[in-house]
Amino acid sequence: MNKKARRCLIITLLIGLPLVSIVAFELAFAQKIYPRIKVADTSIERLTREEAAKLLSSKHKLNNLCISAAGEELCYKPEDIDLVFHYPESVQQAYEYSRRGGLGYQFRQKVELLSHSPNYPLIFEYNNNKLVSEIASSSSLLIYPEIPPVIEVVNGQVNIIPGKKGQDVDWDQLLVKVQDSLSYDRKESLELPIISVGKDYDSSDLEKTKVKAQNFLNKIIILSGQEENRTILSEELIKFIRWDGGWNESQIDSYLEVLSQDYESQPQDALFKFESGKVVAFSLEKDGWQLDKQKLKENLIFCLDNLSQTSDLQCLIEVKLQKFEPAIKVSQINDFGITQLIGTGESYFHGSIAARVHNLALASERINGHLIAPGETFSFNQAVGEISSKTGYQSAYIIQNGRTILGDGGGVCQVSTTLFRAALNSGLQITERHAHAYRVHYYEEGFPVGMDATVYSPSVDLKFKNDLSSHILIQTTIDKNSYYLRFDFYGTSDGRNVTIDNFRLWDETPPPADLYIDDPTLAPGVVKQIDWKAWGAKASFDWRVYQGEEIIYQQTFYSNFKPWQSIYMRGPSN
C-alpha cells in the first residue's frame, strides 16, 4: 500500500469509527434512558420509560411529610395535602436528556455523561393552601402577631403600653424546604423555620415619646378651608409621633391622602345631548379643585414642631385650593327628572395590556348613556350584551377553572366592579353580586379588599334596582392615559345617605409558587408576567342606606379569595 493510500485509510478510520460508535450507541439506547441518569437519587439507566416509572413508584412510595416544631414532630399524610407524584412525567424529563437541541449540544451532553451523573427531581403536586392551613393550626402556640406599643390618653394623662415582638413561620423558606424534600424524597424531618415579627423598642425611646406626647395634650391644629375649618385634636396629633422621637411621615401621608379626597376633584364638563329620544351623554358641570399636599405636609410638620417645643395651644394652617372651572356649563334639567349626581364608582387599571384596555373601554361605552327607569332592575349582562370576538372584543387574559388563559372579553370585570361601586355609593338596592374567586390587584388600587363584582354571562350577573322616582343616567368616564375608569349616576336624590365601613380582612394565606406557562406565540427565551401573586383571604364590609334616621337597606358583603400565584408566559425552549 502506497503512502497516499495509507493516509486515506487513516483519515477514513478517524472519521468512521466515531460515527460508527455514535450510531451503535444510539441504536442500543433507542428507547432506553442513557447511562448514569437518576431521578431522586434512584438510578434508572438502561431502562425503558415504563420500567423506570414502575421502579420509581415502587421505591418512592407516598410517605408522610414530617416537620419538626419546638421539639414536636408534625406529620401530614399525603391525602391531607393532596400530594400526588407524577412518575411518568418525572421519567420523561430524564429520558429527554441529550435528545433535545442541536446535534452539537446533544453530543456535548453525551460526553458529559463520562464524568457527570444527572439527578432529576420527582415531579409532583400538592395543595399548598392545605399544607399552610395544617401547619398554622398545628403551630398556633408558635405563631402570634406583633403587639406594637400603644399611646393612650386616660383622664388627661399619657400612658405607654409597651409592645411585644411577634413570631411567624418563614413560609417562603419552609416551602422551599418542602419543595426540595419532596423533589428528592428526603426522609428526614424538616425543621419549621420561625422568624421574629416586629422590633424591640428601647425603654428610653418610649419614655421620650411619652414626654413628647404629654406636651400635645389640649393642643390642636386648625386647617382653615374655603368652606369650613377642620380641627386636628391632640389625640390625632399624638399619632404623628414616631417612636424614636421624630415624626411618622407615613402616618402624616396617610392622613393627607384621606384629607385630599374631601378637598380635591377634577373639573367636569356638562353634556346635554339627545339622539333618537335617548340620552347619550349628560352631566352637570362641576368645578375642579387641587390640593398641594406637599406644601400642606410641610406646614403640618412646622406646626407639630412648634407645638412640641412651645406652650402654644394651637396652630393655624390655611388650606389653599386651586380652582379649575369646566369648559362647558349648563343650568337646565332634562325631561327625565335628572338634576344631580347621586353616586360615583371608580377604579384604576394600571398595567393592563392593550387588549384588556380595549375590552373594558368597549364595555364601558356600551353602558354609557344607559337609562334605568324608576322601578327597573338593571342587569349588567343584558346592558353590555354578548361578549365575544363577533361583538368587537379582543382576546385578553382571564382566569378560568383555576388557570390564566386567553379569552374574549378579558377586562370586562373591571367595568362590573366599577359599576358595583357606583350602585353602592348611590344607595341602590343590590339584588345580585358575586365576588371574584381570586384577588385582582387592579381592584385594590386605592380601595379596600373586597369591593369587586365579577360577571360571566349568562349565569353570573350584577344587578341593582332603581327605586327612585326619577330615571337614572349612567355616564362613563375613561382615561386610558391615567388608566382610570369612573361611572357617574345622575338622577334626583330623595335625601338618602350611604355609609360603607367596617372593612375586615382575615384568614390570609400565602400565594403558591410562581407558575410558568409555555406560550408558542412568544420567541424562545422570552418571559412575560401576566399575573401577580396575591394572598388568599376572607374579606367583608358593611353597607347601610339611610332615609333620615331610618335604615332602608343594610347588607354585609362577603368575599372568599383563594391565594393566587404569579404567572409567567414563556417562549418555548429550543
3-state secondary structure 432-472: ECCCCCECCHHHHCCCCCCCCCCCECCCECCEEECCCCCCE
Residue-wise pLDDT for 532-571, tens only, equals 788 899 999 999 999 999 999 999 999 999 998 888 888 8
Has residue 205 got a pLDDT over 70? yes
What's the mean per-residue pLDDT of the chain? 83
Instruction: Write out the H or E segment, with its range, that includes residue 49.
Output: helix 49-59
User: What mean pLDDT is predicted for residues 5-30?
Assistant: 54
How far apart are the two ends of the chain, measured CA to CA in Å?
48
* One-letter amino acid of 427: G
Has residue 146 got a pLDDT over 90? no
**Residue 67's pLDDT is what?**
86
Q: Residue 120 pairs with which residues in a beta bridge?
A: 39
Q: Which range, of 22-31, 49-58, 371-380, averages the lowest pLDDT?
A: 22-31
Buried b (16+ CB within 10 A) or exposed e, 26-44: eeebeebbbebbbbbebbb
Half-sphere exposure of 31 (CA within 13 A, CB side): 4
User: What mean pLDDT is predicted for residues 382-406?
Assistant: 71
Has residue 385 got a pLDDT over 70? yes
Residue-wise pLDDT for 62-95, tens only, equals 778 888 887 788 888 888 888 888 888 888 888 8
Residue-wise pLDDT for 287-324, tens only, equals 888 888 889 999 999 999 999 888 899 999 988 888 88
Between 33 and 63, the higher pLDDT residue:
33
Between 268 and 178, the higher pLDDT residue:
178
pLDDT category of residue 379 using cuts at 50, 70 and 90: very high
- Residue whose grid cell is 406626647: 213
- Pairing type for strands 472-479 and 463-465 reads unpaired
User: What mean pLDDT is predicted for residues 327-337?
Assistant: 53
Q: What is the rounded distance in angstroms from the CA atom of residue 383 to the CA atom of residue 365?
A: 11
Q: What is the rounded distance in angstroms from the CA atom of residue 368 to the CA atom of residue 371?
A: 9
**Residue 447's pLDDT is what?**
93
Q: Residue 517 pairs with which residues in a beta bridge?
A: 569
| Domain residue spans of the chain | 34-135, 140-201, 202-332, 339-574
Residue-wise pLDDT for 449-488, tens only, equals 999 999 988 889 999 999 998 888 888 999 999 999 999 9
**Residue 552's pLDDT is what?**
95
User: What mean pLDDT is predicted for residues 392-410?
Assistant: 62
Has residue 140 got a pLDDT over 50? yes
Q: What is the rounded distance in angstroms from the CA atom of residue 273 to the CA atom of residue 132?
A: 57
Buried b (16+ CB within 10 A) or exposed e, 489-511: bbbbeeebebebeeeebeeebbb
Q: Residue 268 pairs with which residues in a beta bridge?
A: 286
Residue-wise pLDDT for 110-124, tens only, equals 778 888 888 888 888
What fold does the segment set 202-332 form as a domain? Answer: Ubiquitin-like (UB roll) (3.10.20)
Q: Which range, of 134-148, 271-285, 460-474, 486-500, averages the lowest pLDDT?
A: 271-285
- Residue whose grid cell is 373591571: 414
Q: Which three cell numbers stand for residue 176?
A: 422551599
